[in-house]
Structure 1
Amino acid sequence: MDVTMPYNGGLTAEQFLFYEMRIVSKQYLEGKTIDEIIDYIKRDNLFQYPTERKISKLARACQRRIVALGNEKLVYELANAPVEVAKQINLYAMMSYNRLVREFMTDLIGEKYRQHDFSYTKKDINMFFSRLREQNDDIALWSEQTITKLKQVLTKCLIETEMLDNFRAHELNPVFISTELESGIRENNDLTALPAFNCFR
């Protein structure tokens, strides 16, 4: 990931999007353009949203994450692998596309795993955002409402990938990285991402 990338608060709307990512990645593998994918999703209401308003925006967000993976094998596994494997790959896609997710997973969660410190509290995530606000003028301008929402979305990512049991949990689970994801990360030569999935070999 390019560390000069700006931080993006769009995660408040985009979130984990696992089932949407499954649908878009299957269509992406068939060689469809993003406009064809959006038309296909709208025609059969595949996202099952009450209105069409958000479909285009979120389908495009999914496609950007898929492209950011930079690995066709990982896209295939995202579309077809068992849920727990594909959810890990989805989180890696988020890390590949969104600098905030990347730094949260490597600087906070990866370091926790490295130190065998499985505690995860509000203080941890508050300190993570305090540090970012001190270091980055753009984040310093984000509203408290945006920061609160981002904390919820990031914590939900941990719950979706079974790193955390629920919103009330204060302890990380020592997850095992899937073989498919580890292979893809190594193929991408993106070794700094491995600690986020408790992988240090």
Structure 2
Amino acid sequence: MKLSSPYNGALTREQFLFYEMRTMAKLVAAGLTDEEATEAIIKDNLFQYPTEKSIKNLAGVCLKRLHSMNDDCLMEAIAKLPADAAKQICLYAMMKKNRLVWDFMITVIGEKYRILDTSFGKVDLNTFFMRLTEQDDNVASWSDATVQKIKQVLVRILVENEYLDSTRADHLNPVLIGSLLEERIRANDDNAALIAFNCLS
């Protein structure tokens, strides 16, 4: 059963990684292969991490997220657009690569925008994980510490993308999807993702 689970606990170490995603996107957009980009990042320690192993792991995470969008236009946008717009695309890439982030952003955050409920708090996170635990044996086997860490990462993702003003905020801000991201999501027939960005039409 565990093998077939779409969920994994990788978020405990993979986080949002905006700076790293932007760095990788710039190298790939400049024409480097995945291997060349990874080598360049390791050689010059562009991620500013202490060990080569951790740099290599995170470079792999960034590449998987970038490729999960399957959209060169969005990859280039992460490299070139202003930070707030690029972050939004990074969030979409993270959703595409990580089923847990996808489900959270659509079934919790998107649903709140849909029903015009701006409240947000621990109860929303707890309900989300309770539901996952009931439907997935793998999630049910996670330790409390793992679940707690993932909840913290999810909240930080919301703060980084200005859905929340701080980790202690108790209401969601109205967010506005960038025009390029909306256009590309529709072009790629991925409309289910739009609700996560408060795009309801």
> Which TM-score applies when normalising by structure 1?
0.95
Determine helix, strand or coil for the equivalent of 2:174: coil
Q: Deviations over 1:48-76 (max 9, x none)?
A: 11332300000000000000011111111
Is the CA contact 2:164–2:172 (under 8 Å) kept in the aligned structure 1?
yes
Contact 1:25 1:66 in 2 (8 A): yes
Is the deviation greater in 45-54 or in 135-144? 45-54
Q: Which residue of 1 aligns with 2:40?
A: 40
Question: Contact (CA 8 Å) 1:27, 1:37: kept in 2 or not?
Answer: yes
Distance 1:162 1:99 in 2: 21
What CA distance in whole angstroms lies between the structure 2 residues aligned with 1:32 and 1:157? 28
Identity rate of aligned residues, in percent? Answer: 52
Q: Which moved more, 1:29-38 or 1:176-185?
A: 29-38
Query: TM-score, normalised on structure 2?
Result: 0.95
1:102-117 to structure 2, matched below 5 A, reads 102-117=102-117
Q: Equivalent residue for 2:49?
A: 49
Contact preservation (8 Å) 2:22, 2:79: yes
Show the counterpart of 1:196. 196
Letter in 1 for 2:110: G
Q: In the alignment, is residue 123 of structure 1 matched against residue 123 of structure 2?
A: yes
Alpha-carbon distance in structure 2 between the residues aligned to 1:200 and 1:87: 20
Distance in 1 separating the partners of 2:144 and 2:32: 39
CA distance in 2, matches of 1:80, 1:103: 28
Q: Mind listing any 5+ residue stretches in structure 2 that lack a counterpart?
A: none
> How far apart, in 1, do the equivalents of 2:198 and 2:5 lie?
25
Q: What aligned pairs does 1:19-168 form with structure 2 within 5 A after superposition?
A: 19-168=19-168
Aligned length: 198
Q: Distance in 2 between matches of 1:31 and 1:139?
A: 39
Residue equivalent to 2:169: 169
Tell me, in whole angstroms, the C-alpha distance in 2 between the residues paired with 1:143 and 1:35.
35
CA distance in 1, matches of 2:29, 2:150: 30
Deviates more, 1:22-31 or 1:60-69: 22-31
Q: CA deviation at 1:86?
A: 0.4
Q: Please give the root-mean-square deviation of Cα atoms over the aligned residues, in Å.
A: 1.2
- State the distance in 2 between where 1:80 and 1:160 align: 18
CA distance in 2, matches of 1:73, 1:150: 30
2:70 alignment partner AA = G
2:164 partner letter: L
